[in-house]
Amino acid sequence: QCPGWEEGEILKMTGIEIRNWIAPGEDIISLSEKAVKTVLARNHLSLNDLSLIIVTSGTPGTITPSLATRIQHTLIPEGKHALFCPAFDINAACSGYLYALQSAWDFLNTRPDGIILVVTAEVLSPLVDLTDKSTSPIFGDAATATIVTGSESPLKGKARVYRPVTAAAGEDGTILTVPADTSRTIFMNGPKVYLEAVHSMITLLAKVCTENGIQVEDLDLIVPHQANQRIINAVKQRLKLPEGRVYSQIRNRGNTSSCTIPLCLESIMKESTTGLLGLTAFGGGFTSAGGLVEII
């Protein structure tokens, strides 16, 4: 599907071997609904238990209704009409998950008994120009759902979330754009994105560590946004970290924007890993974020 690429060249240049794209009949709502209903069932929750729904996506499909309220609609029992918890979208591109966790953390600081559903959902494949070597082999589709609870919630979590730090550097779309118009395609100036991403991810990771009185070297594992294996390698090299301290699963996932970090966390938790994880992300806009999660 990528004219001009030699066999093995994509893996060498990006670190990506396979990635998932939506199938015919699927869309961003069906992907999100499956992820949400899975995590709610796992935690024996329903829509009535939720205090807030935050959805982060760069491809919501419509501006109004928001993707958050459309996902909320899939959870409403048939024939029932009532007011439910607030629901809203965040668009922070690949940094969206950490932006959403920051909003969730702030909400729970005033509502410690709250239960928040954080959803990431990205359908990028229809916007990919298959003739563009800088984008066509990279992007995938995914949706994730995370339950975030406060200190007074009866639900006991698998990890402690520290308050993320977020930032933006203001970019007008001449370097990286995911268009709303489906007749257009994703544009990215790869070299410029590479330089900005490496610098911003290292800076925001250091900032969240400093705010919490620790050193980057104290982290048990670093989970960066899975943009490109070359970016992940550059972060590891500049931080002078040993092999195995920076997590990567991009080979089998591709770049799923705001979904990459929660997908990594799911895999890490399945491995029964414990310890303090540093999260860091960079996305279009240019947005960036750093976070800490302690797996318990």
| Residues annotated as part of the active site | 94, 225, 255
- The CA–CA distances, whole Å, from 132 to 93, 194, 207 equal 20, 17, 35
> Quick one: which of 81, 153, 92, 93 has its CA closest to 117?
153
69 three-class SS? helix
Report whether 222 contacts 248 (CB < 8 A).
no
Is it true that the peptide bond before 191 is cis, omega within 30 degrees of 0?
Answer: no
Which amino acid is residue 285, in one-letter code?
Answer: G
Q: Cβ atoms within 10 A of the Cβ of 62, count?
A: 10
Measured in whole angstroms, the distance separating CA 16 from the mean position of its chain's CA atoms is 17
CA distances from residue 281 to 24, 52, 96 in whole angstroms, order as listed: 31, 24, 9
Tokens of 229: 């294996």
Q: Sheet holding 52-56: strands in order across?
A: 87-90, 52-56, 115-122, 142-149
> Across-strand partners of 279?
223, 291
Nearest to 141 by CA among 251, 59, 230: 59
Judged on CB neighbours under 10 Å (0-12, 13-18, 19+), 156 is exposed
Instruction: Using alpha carbons, list the distances in angstroms from residue 159 to 111, 156, 194, 234, 258.
Output: 19, 9, 31, 28, 19
Q: How far apart are CA 166 and CA 278, in angstroms?
A: 14
Q: Are 278 and 216 in contact (CB under 8 A)?
A: yes
